[in-house]
């Protein structure tokens, strides 16, 4: 089993101010923990993914939105406010293109059989970016762009997106609402930002809202009793994971109670499913996770299972 670790130096150039929780240090915390846990040597590292093309972005986002964001990102110093908690700096456009391009590159490698699965340590994150709006620290839906690439360019017929962030992936839902080729399953704290996802499921969405202080035993039942039966019924040819780690009990961005063992367990269920159903194909992309220690530890357990080092 070969697991790819994808990242790019450009992803650390985007920053939204000294006190902003979605910071470049998140990527350093992940890399440091993978080294400390002796996982890094087992991964096939990729640091050179290309930029996503405008055509690739426009499979998930409107051309008008992409053009507007490109124009807004053309400045040389300071920050440009996008919404109340999302800012651009002069490198944001470059970083966002690189993050989406990295997800596409990992997708190609997995589909081509060069890798069994892959984890993308990329930022800015993506699952709040709707078809025509940046929000919630997100500019382009990295997972959505990669999933559309798998479908529209690489010819897959069905893919599933698993989202385990503490926040609902409203952008992913907006992009794929009603698309019969895509199944999205998620859990998220509710009521909580972005205050969506609990209004009723569409035919291709299985969103499971949970209250604050929900712990791992409840989440494990959701995976076993709701996610996995729906995934088996859908029979995807590939899994994409929006991997958010802000549901950890140490993360102040949410009020859920997961720990590293819960993320490892969830990942094991998804790996086992992918092995049985879709040739093991998984591409996982970083979303949330803002307590640097908890983030590093949780990602390490996630990647340990992807790489088959948990046995």
pLDDT band, residue 311 (cuts 50/70/90): confident
Q: Which residues of 277-310 are buried (b: 16+ CB within 10 A; e: fewer)?
A: bbebbbbbbbbbbbbbebbbbbbbbbbbbbbbbe
Per DSSP, helices labelled H in 131-259 are 142-152, 170-176, 216-222, 228-234
Catalytic sites, residue numbers: 128
Q: What is the mean pLDDT of residues 141-161?
A: 99
Q: With 80 as the cut, is the pLDDT of residue 1 above it?
A: no
Helix (H) or strand (E) holding 273: helix 260-277
CA-wise closest residue to 3 among 176, 170, 259, 241 = 241
For the chain, give the longest Cα–Cα distance.
Answer: 51
Q: Which domains does the chain have, with CATH numbers?
A: 3-306 (3.40.800.20)
Q: Dihedral (C-alpha) 188, 193, 198, 203: value to the nearest 10 degrees?
A: -80
Q: What is the mean pLDDT of residues 234-254?
A: 98
Convert the pLDDT of each residue in 204-236 to its tens digit.
Answer: 999 999 999 999 999 999 999 999 999 999 999
Query: Exposed/middle/buried for 62, CB within 10 Å: 0-12, 13-18, 19+?
Result: middle
Separation of alpha carbons 302 and 7, rounded Å:
16
pTM above 0.75, yes or no: yes
Mean pLDDT for the chain overall: 97
Q: Dihedral (C-alpha) 149, 154, 158, 164: value to the nearest 10 degrees?
A: -40
Convert the pLDDT of each residue in 165-204 to its tens digit.
Answer: 999 999 999 999 999 999 999 999 999 999 999 987 789 9
Convert the pLDDT of each residue in 93-131 to its tens digit.
Answer: 999 999 999 999 999 999 999 999 999 999 999 999 999
């Amino acid at each position: 089993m070969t697991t790819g670790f994808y990242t790019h130096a450009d992803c650390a150039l985007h920053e939204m101010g000294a006190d902003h929780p979605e910071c470049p240090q998140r990527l350093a915390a992940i890399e440091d923990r993978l080294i400390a846990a002796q996982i890094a040597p087992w991964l096939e590292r990729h640091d050179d993914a290309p930029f996503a093309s405008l055509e690739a972005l426009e499979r998930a986002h409107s051309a008008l939105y992409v053009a507007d964001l490109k124009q807004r990102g053309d400045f040389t110093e300071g920050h440009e406010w996008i919404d109340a908690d999302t800012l651009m700096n002069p490198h944001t456009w470059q970083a966002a293109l690189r993050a989406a391009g990295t997800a596409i590159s990992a997708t190609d490698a997995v589909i081509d059989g060069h890798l069994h699965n892959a984890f993308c340590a990329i930022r800015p994150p993506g699952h709040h970016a709707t078809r025509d709006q940046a929000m919630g620290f997100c500019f382009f839906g990295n997972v959505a762009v990669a999933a559309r690439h798998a479908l529209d360019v690489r010819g897959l017929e069905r893919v599933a997106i698993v989202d385990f962030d503490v926040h609902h992936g409203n952008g992913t839902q907006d992009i794929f609402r009603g698309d019969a080729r895509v199944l999205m399953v998620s859990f998220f704290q509710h009521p909580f930002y972005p205050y969506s996802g609990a209004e009723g499921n569409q035919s291709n969405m299985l969103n499971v809202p949970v209250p604050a202080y929900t712990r791992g035993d409840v989440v494990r039942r959701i995976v076993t009793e709701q996610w996995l039966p729906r995934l088996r019924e859908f029979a995807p040819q590939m899994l994409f994971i929006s991997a958010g780690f802000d549901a950890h009990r140490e993360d102040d961005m949410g009020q859920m109670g997961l720990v590293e063992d819960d993320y490892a367990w969830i990942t094991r269920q998804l790996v086992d499913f992918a092995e049985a159903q879709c040739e093991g194909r998984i591409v996982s992309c970083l979303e949330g996770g803002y307590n640097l220690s908890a983030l590093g530890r949780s990602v390490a357990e996630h990647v340990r299972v992807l790489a088959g080092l948990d046995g």
